[in-house]
Amino acid sequence: MDVPKNLRVLAFDLDDTLAESKCPISPQMGSALSDLLGQVQVLIISGGTYNQFETQVVEHLPRSADLSNLHLMPTCGTRYLRWDPAHGWTEQYSHDLEPGQRRTVAKVLEQEARALGVWEPQENVFGPRIEDRGSQMTFSGLGQSAPTGLKKLWDPGGDKRDRLRVAVQRLLPDLEVRSGGSTSIDITRKGIDKSHGLQMLSQVLGIELSAMHFVGDRLDPGGNDYPVKALGVSTFQVENAQACLQYVRAILDRLTLGAHPRNGSKPLPGTRGEYPPTELCTFAPKAQP
């Protein structure tokens, strides 16, 4: 789809879109996002926790960035935070799973992962495989702190995640089960996904969905970006953070000129030297705010 002519909200996935998985955004991406914040509302909506948003994005934005135009929706839009100059990032809502639901999800995830042969030996795992994020349960095949390079090799075609997602969804029909990052499965309350997040932001800002545009890497059916596409919001799929940076720069060029980018523009190959080495990009979770 084409970028809306009346573009007012630009929404992004985080891992493998704005940044490599569990890595900070590049200085170039930080500068580009800051420029976007001076012209449109920017939403970041991803399966990660708030702490990942802070560590991967917020801490790497220029000090001049207008945070009043930045909206954070961690855990696939099940939480929403806005910037308050007096109090910092302030939670607007949180659609938490019940404690009993979270226990059941953890049991089913391990049970089905073992049955399908995707429960890796402990010596191959980095950090917890199943993470309770309150409003979302997340399974990571190699653990939450696995190096990016290994994660990309674990399930490049997505078959492991797809099989696990289908098996878990069959046993948990009252919950939402989606493929997330390169090794992950995300489980949330039914109907609480990225499409819900964009609809909530539309209501809060009084901006029509037709004036929004979403950029992500998992727009395929079963991916956690797909609900946005199914909602009818205009979308653009990128393969990685380098391609996303190219696309963001194209949007900025056209915003400056009073025009908008075309989805047919081909992303230029990125330079890995712009980013931290992928083997160093791991994330150590902190306490939730």
Annotation: binding site for Mg(2+): 13, 15, 217
Residues making up the binding site for alpha-D-mannose 1-phosphate: 133, 184, 186
15 is catalytic: yes
Binding-site residues from annotation? 13, 15, 133, 184, 186, 217
Alpha helices in the chain (DSSP H): 27-37, 50-56, 74-77, 99-115, 148-154, 159-171, 194-205, 226-231, 241-257
Report which secondary-structure segment, H or E, holds 131.
strand 130-132
Catalytic residue among 2, 15, 174, 225: 15
Q: Is 185 in contact with 161 (CB distance < 8 Å)?
A: yes
**Residue 2 is among the residues annotated as catalytic for this protein:** no
Strand 175-179 relative to strand 184-189: parallel, antiparallel, unpaired?
A: antiparallel
In this structure, the chain runs to a length of: 289
98-105 contacts: CB < 8 A, separation 24 or more? 101/175, 102/132, 102/137, 104/172, 105/137, 105/172, 105/175, 105/187
From the candidates 2, 13, 162, 225, give the one annotated as an active-site residue.
13
**Which of the residues are catalytic?**
13, 15
